[in-house]
């Protein structure tokens, strides 16, 4: 009998008892106690068990989906025949049945696709069925729609009606009858209206801003070449790759030829650019449900692969697009040909995963010593010394800590030339995409006649192709959208990934049953195409929309000023000149005025803005001065998070100067920024929706409410055209544009001929790769970086993608003496003293007095409440789908609740003026759960709300750290997600309390700086001063500081 583990309260119960427990307690997350796999939605990894259903589509397939994904992907006519949920008391009862279907594979070879079953429930694949001893007539194919009936022994229902193709008026017949051949009279050209002129200009700009200057002039029509062999290549070049006497591996990973093993693990594919426009995500429902990669508890959205492989291979790469070799370790996977592809392919993304495929088979293999391995270890290759790894299946990973530590990794601060730079980041993007997407294996390549050519052709079947089905949801396919779009990056790699080629879709052609792609190498590739390789020797990795924007940005980064900036070789010139300015406020201090002057005089400005120093007001004044005095617009303002952008945009929402502003949000955020939002009236999507014709507005409502099947292709096309035309008009007339860093690379801004000024707030929270997107926009003459390297940056499993360009230009010395805003106005001086002195070396000053920030009845603006009632508790979590753990401290929750009572009841502090921060996400959720049920904090019993902001595209937490829980107006968040926010009172639950005095990533100086600098009037820390003091030198200094100030208390009597 199955047993399940409630991750909220640690209860372990059998099926019936656990369902009763979840229904009564309303706890949300549960894992299989035996396999340690979290029960979550296949599509989005939603782990709220109250929203999950196991659904069966007749005899075809069984899937585990949440209600939003089910409603999003399936119209009413496509509803499953059977659903098992917690509400009808059957979800956990059918968990084992679901696993049986998901994990079923060929009993002979282990193949997971093209399966057949007979009355004895024996499962074999198409290839094994051809072998002697099997009676093919007695087997039913998985494509028949009856597979599950036989496999599970379910009584078969009556056949369903066939879905007939919709008819319609046949077009393209030509004009017939009288007057068919009469020439039309020429008409005089009418002058274009203002709207038509704007539309024409927008079209020209889009055409110019969407082009990549390739090296080849060939098209699909003019391309001529030779088809790659379907078997292994035995040229001299390829023979050297493999062990003498052995056959090169075929696609299924075995020696010799074998069946292609398509659609192996169930990893979601990022939406292509065309899908992003419609807000569509990859649809993986179907037989692919059983092909899902199996995960352990605490699964994170879009985090499917292990990072062991990624980290061990992410170092400086050589100039030949080759992967840095891995060091040998006990769990190193065999190279191509050493294992069946069903295992090998999974390892390519999840090497060292703690629970492979949910079966938890521990495999310790020694690497083969082959000629190729010897070649990899050649001294002229760049190598990366990684520490010896334990078998990752027995290793748990702590929240906030990198899964694999590359102790010898040294960030590259200077690059020799642009190609060196682009190759380095291209490979880092490849490693990141491997964690998110699945390689394509089913295709036919046509190589050019000469390896000097930079283009080649790839043809893929579109019918019954599980790989493409994952790229293209049914709803998007119905509207005629292709699985790929022009300019989308596709990365070609050898099966062992020792060589990679970065390509993009130059042209594509859709056939009735296939799609043909013309792929071209990006200019910075330094190795020629492998024109003698067979299809089986290479694989293709599609890239998602966000990564596509970064690759495209690399092709557009040609501004000499910014090329020098990213190379890091030349010092950036700085001009000092005093402009005669009339400031809009008298309250600006000298450091703010100096920063504004510098921006007006220089093409590149790096501005350091510590907490509470008035960054937003300074940016507002910069923009105002440039529009007033220099007519420099449009001005683009970007940041990694929406909250930072909104703070600046709100400064202009009621401006008296009549400045035209526009807020552009990503498709996924449009519903949040409705007309009731403070910025709703200046949001582009709201303006576009209001100006749509009534019939198109109705079509849009149908698309947004899951009734896309009622929208024809013509309606969808007309809607798209109208939306673009309206959006283009407003974008081209705006003076200030506000959006996030990655959204700046979307289709909207391509209508603008040039963007003379770009201001980037929170520069340290955007990876350098993401920063290339706004940096490469057309016509930039000024770029302003605003950030604080003393606060948190983005967190990625790929080391190169963690550092920001802001940090690198300071470290490599090419930008000397950056401007710093030196006066803080947020914190009470008692709160700010330690951060000012310790993190900023005394260069930060107070601009407020004790009297300015005092709160009636609060004697201690800084207060440490000692909590030694008990130790922390370790709870299950995950990182990139790998088994991990985080911490909670129930004793601190109780103490924190008492502080809340004191503030709300005695000090009369409004709930929306209080924020609670903690390092660990599990503690955040536990505190939120307690507060929802508390009669003082939440007397009316409001449900908890959650605000999820956008993270950097490469954030390894999948956005979890950017989630803020809101209970009756009171914010509960991790320290990471609260960066950029402030409240009058902050309660900081430090969590860690143990005999070993270990405090994990709580010791991080930047995290500590953020936590200590969010409060305006009062900061209350709750924790074990003993554990913290012994945990790190920094905390030792802070606890000593508090003790000297006599600010550590046993209770709240003195508060």
Q: What is the residue-wise DSSP string for 786-812?
A: EE-TTS-----SSGGGTS-HHHHHHHS
Token pair, residue 479, equals 């509207």
Q: What does the domain layout of the chain look like in residue ranges?
A: 225-554, 557-570+591-691+734-821, 692-725, 829-1049
Mind giving me the DSSP string for 469-496?
HHHS-HHHHHTT--SS-TT-EEEEEETT
DSSP-derived 3-state class of residue 196: helix
How many other CB atoms are there within 10 angstroms of residue 834's CB atom? 19
pLDDT at 158: 53
Residue corresponding to tokens 């920024």 = 673
pLDDT at 1048: 97
Cβ(730)–Cβ(662) under 8 Å?
yes
Q: Give dist(CA 327, CA 407) in Å, integer.
A: 14
Reported as a single tens digit per residue, the pLDDT across 518-562 is 999 999 999 999 999 999 999 999 998 889 999 999 999 989 889
Backbone φ/ψ region at 1044: left (φ over 0), alpha (ψ -120 to 50), beta: alpha
Please state the length of the chain: 1055
Cβ(907)–Cβ(855) under 8 Å?
yes
Cβ(399)–Cβ(884) under 8 Å?
yes
Prediction pTM value: 0.69
Residue corresponding to tokens 């994170």 = 300
- Report in angstroms the alpha-carbon separations of 860 from 834, 853, 910, 989, 1017: 15, 12, 18, 18, 10
pLDDT at 161: 43
Q: Give dist(CA 23, CA 38) in Å, integer.
A: 18
pLDDT at 387: 35
Mind giving me the DSSP string for 712-775?
-HHHHHHHHHHHHHHHHHHHHH-SEEEEETTGGGSSGGGG-S---EEEESSGGGS-HHHHHHHH
Q: Element (H or E) spanning 581, and its range?
A: none
Pairing of strands 604-608, 115-117: unpaired
DSSP 8-state assignment for residue 1014: S
How many other CB atoms are there within 10 angstroms of residue 692's CB atom? 16
Peptide bond into 634 cis (omega under 30): yes
Residue corresponding to tokens 């400045």 = 659
Residues in the chain predicted with pLDDT less than 70, given as ranges, are 1, 10, 33-36, 75-79, 109-111, 156-190, 231-396, 402-409, 475, 477-480, 656, 878-882, 950-961
Cβ(1006)–Cβ(790) under 8 Å?
yes
pLDDT at 76: 65
- Report in angstroms the alpha-carbon separations of 132 from 109, 122, 135, 918: 15, 15, 8, 63
Q: Give dist(CA 305, CA 348) in Å, integer.
A: 9
Backbone φ/ψ region at 27: left (φ over 0), alpha (ψ -120 to 50), beta: beta
Residue corresponding to tokens 């956008």 = 950
- Report in angstroms the alpha-carbon separations of 732 from 197, 495, 740, 795, 1005: 11, 47, 18, 35, 44
pLDDT at 415: 95
Written out in words, the top-level CATH class of the domain with range 557-570+591-691+734-821 is alpha beta
Strands (E), 291-429: 397-398
Residue whose C-alpha is closest to residue 954's, from 407, 547, 642, 406: 547
DSSP-derived 3-state class of residue 405: coil
Q: What is the CA radius of gyration of the chain?
A: 30
Q: Give dist(CA 471, CA 508) in Å, integer.
A: 16
Token pair, residue 666, equals 């990503």
Residue corresponding to tokens 């496509």 = 78
Written out in words, the top-level CATH class of the domain with range 829-1049 is alpha beta
Helix-helix angle 829-838:1005-1012, to 10 degrees: 160
Question: Cβ contacts of residue 183 below 8 Å, gap of 6+?
Answer: none
- Report in angstroms the alpha-carbon separations of 1028 from 531, 590, 990: 60, 38, 9
DSSP 8-state assignment for residue 888: E
**3-state SS, one letter per residue, for 369-399:** CCHHHHHHCCCCCCCCCCCCCCCHHHCCEEC
Reported as a single tens digit per residue, the pLDDT across 918-954 is 999 999 999 999 999 999 999 999 999 998 876 555 5
Do 829-1049 and 557-570+591-691+734-821 fall under one CATH topology? yes
Cβ(20)–Cβ(11) under 8 Å?
no
Residue corresponding to tokens 């010897």 = 374
Token pair, residue 982, equals 């402030």
DSSP 8-state assignment for residue 401: S
Pairing of strands 661-663, 736-740: parallel
pLDDT at 375: 35
Q: Give dist(CA 345, CA 337) in Å, integer.
A: 11
Cβ(1011)–Cβ(1004) under 8 Å?
no
Question: Cβ contacts of residue 988 below 8 Å, gap of 6+?
Answer: 916, 917, 918, 1011, 1012, 1019, 1020, 1021, 1022, 1023
Reported as a single tens digit per residue, the pLDDT across 135-175 is 888 888 887 777 878 787 777 655 444 332 233 323 333 33
Question: Cβ contacts of residue 578 below 8 Å, gap of 6+?
Answer: 597
207 burial (CB, 10 Å; 0-12 / 13-18 / 19+) is exposed
């Amino acid at each position: 009998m199955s047993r399940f583990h409630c991750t909220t309260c640690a209860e372990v119960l059998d099926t019936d008892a656990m369902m009763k427990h979840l229904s009564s307690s309303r706890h949300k997350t549960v894992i299989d106690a035996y396999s340690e796999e979290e029960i979550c939605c296949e599509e989005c990894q939603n782990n709220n068990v109250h929203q999950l259903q196991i659904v069966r589509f007749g005899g075809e397939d069984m899937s585990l989906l949440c209600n939003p994904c089910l409603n999003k992907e399936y119209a009413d006519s496509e509803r499953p025949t059977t659903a098992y949920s917690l509400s009808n008391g059957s979800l956990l009862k059918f968990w084992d049945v679901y696993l049986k279907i998901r994990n079923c594979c060929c009993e002979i070879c282990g193949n997971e696709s093209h399966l057949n079953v007979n009355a004895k429930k024996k499962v074999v694949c198409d290839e094994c069925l051809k072998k002697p001893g099997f009676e093919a007539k007695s087997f039913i194919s998985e494509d028949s729609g009856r597979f599950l009936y036989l496999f599970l022994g379910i009584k078969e229902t009556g056949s369903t009606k066939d879905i007939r193709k919709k008819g319609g008026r046949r077009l393209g017949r030509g004009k017939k009858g009288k007057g068919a051949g009469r020439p039309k009279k020429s008409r005089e050209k009418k002058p274009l209206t203002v709207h038509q002129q704007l539309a024409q200009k927008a079209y020209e700009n889009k055409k110019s801003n969407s082009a990549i200057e390739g090296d080849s002039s060939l098209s699909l029509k003019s391309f001529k070449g030779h088809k790659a062999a379907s078997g292994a290549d035995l040229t001299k070049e390829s023979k050297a790759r493999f062990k003498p006497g052995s056959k090169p591996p075929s696609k299924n990973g075995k020696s010799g030829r074998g069946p292609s093993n398509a659609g192996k693990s169930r990893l979601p594919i990022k939406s292509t650019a065309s899908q992003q426009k419609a807000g569509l995500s990859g649809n993986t429902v179907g037989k692919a449900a059983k092909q899902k990669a199996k995960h352990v508890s605490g699964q994170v959205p879009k985090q499917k692969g292990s990072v062991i492989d990624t980290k061990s291979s992410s170092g400086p790469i050589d100039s030949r697009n080759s992967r840095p070799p891995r060091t040998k370790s006990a769990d190193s996977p065999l190279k191509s040909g050493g294992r069946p592809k069903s295992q090998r392919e999974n390892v390519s993304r999840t090497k060292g995963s703690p629970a492979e495929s949910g079966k938890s088979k521990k495999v310790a293999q020694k690497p083969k010593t082959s000629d190729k391995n010897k070649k990899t270890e050649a001294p002229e290759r760049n190598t990366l010394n990684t520490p010896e790894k334990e078998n990752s299946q027995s290793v748990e990973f702590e929240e906030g800590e990198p899964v694999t530590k590359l102790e010898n990794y040294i960030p590259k601060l200077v690059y020799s030339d642009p190609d060196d730079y682009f190759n380095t980041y291209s490979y880092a993007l490849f490693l990141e995409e491997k964690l998110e997407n699945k390689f394509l294996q089913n295709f036919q390549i046509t190589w050019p006649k000469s390896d000097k050519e930079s283009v080649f052709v790839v043809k893929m079947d579109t019918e019954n192709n599980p790989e493409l089905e994952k790229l293209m949801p049914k709803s998007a396919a119905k509207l005629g959208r292709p699985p790929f779009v022009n300019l989308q990056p596709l990365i070609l790699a050898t099966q062992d990934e020792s060589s990679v080629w970065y390509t993009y879709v130059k042209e594509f052609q859709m056939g009735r049953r296939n799609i043909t792609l013309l792929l071209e190498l990006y200019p910075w590739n330094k190795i020629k195409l492998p024109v003698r390789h067979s299809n089986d020797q290479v694989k293709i990795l599609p890239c998602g929309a966000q990564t596509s924007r970064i690759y495209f940005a690399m092709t557009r980064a040609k501004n000499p000023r910014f090329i020098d900036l990213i190379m890091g070789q030349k010092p950036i010139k700085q001009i000092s000149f005093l402009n005669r300015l009339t400031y809009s406020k008298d309250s600006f201090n000298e450091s703010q005025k100096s920063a504004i002057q510098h921006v007006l005089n220089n093409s590149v400005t790096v501005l350091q803005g510590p907490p509470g120093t008035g960054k937003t007001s300074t940016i507002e004044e910069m923009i105002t001065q440039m529009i007033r005095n220099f007519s420099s617009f449009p001005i683009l303002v970007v940041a990694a998070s929406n909250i930072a952008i909104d703070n600046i945009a709100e400064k202009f929402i009621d401006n008296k100067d009549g400045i035209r502003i526009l807020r552009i949000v990503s498709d996924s955020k449009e519903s949040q920024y409705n007309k009731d939002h403070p910025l709703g009236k200046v949001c582009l999507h709201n303006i576009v929706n209001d100006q749509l014709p009534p019939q198109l507005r109705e079509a849009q409502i149908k698309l947004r409410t899951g009734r896309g099947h009622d929208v024809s292709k013509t309606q969808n096309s007309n809607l798209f055209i109208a939306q673009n035309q309206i959006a283009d008009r407003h974008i081209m007339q705006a003076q200030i544009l506000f959006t996030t860093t990655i959204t700046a690379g979307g289709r909207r801004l391509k209508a603008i001929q040039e963007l003379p000024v770009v201001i980037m707030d929170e520069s340290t929270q955007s990876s350098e790769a993401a920063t290339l997107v706004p940096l490469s926009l057309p016509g930039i003459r000024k770029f302003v970086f605003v950030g604080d390297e003393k606060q948190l940056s983005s967190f990625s499993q790929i080391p190169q993608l963690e550092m920001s360009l802001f940090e690198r230009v300071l470290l490599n010395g090419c930008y000397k003496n950056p401007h710093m805003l030196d006066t803080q106005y947020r914190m009470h001086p008692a709160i700010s003293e330690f951060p000012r002195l310790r993190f900023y070396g005394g260069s930060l000053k107070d601009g407020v007095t004790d009297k300015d920030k005092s709160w009636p009845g609060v004697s201690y603006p800084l207060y440490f409440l000692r909590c030694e009632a008990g130790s922390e508790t370790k709870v299950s979590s995950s990182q990139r789908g790998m088994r991990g753990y985080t911490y909670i401290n129930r004793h601190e929750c109780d103490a924190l609740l008492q502080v809340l009572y004191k503030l709300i009841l005695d000090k009369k502090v409004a709930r929306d003026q209080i924020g609670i921060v903690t390092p660990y996400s599990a503690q955040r959720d536990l505190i939120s759960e307690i507060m929802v049920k508390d009669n003082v904090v939440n007397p009316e019993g409001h449900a908890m709300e959650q605000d999820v902001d956008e993270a950097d595209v490469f954030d390894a937490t999948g956005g979890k750290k950017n989630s803020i829980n809101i209970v009756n107006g009171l914010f509960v968040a991790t320290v990471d997600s609260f960066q950029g926010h402030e409240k009058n009172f902050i309660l900081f639950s430090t969590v860690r309390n143990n005999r070993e005095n270990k405090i994990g990533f709580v010791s991080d100086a930047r995290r500590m700086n953020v936590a200590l600098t969010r409060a305006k009037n009062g900061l209350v820390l709750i924790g074990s001063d003993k554990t913290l003091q012994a945990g790190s030198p920094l905390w030792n200094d802070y606890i000593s500081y508090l003790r000297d100030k006599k600010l550590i208390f046993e209770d709240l009597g003195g508060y």
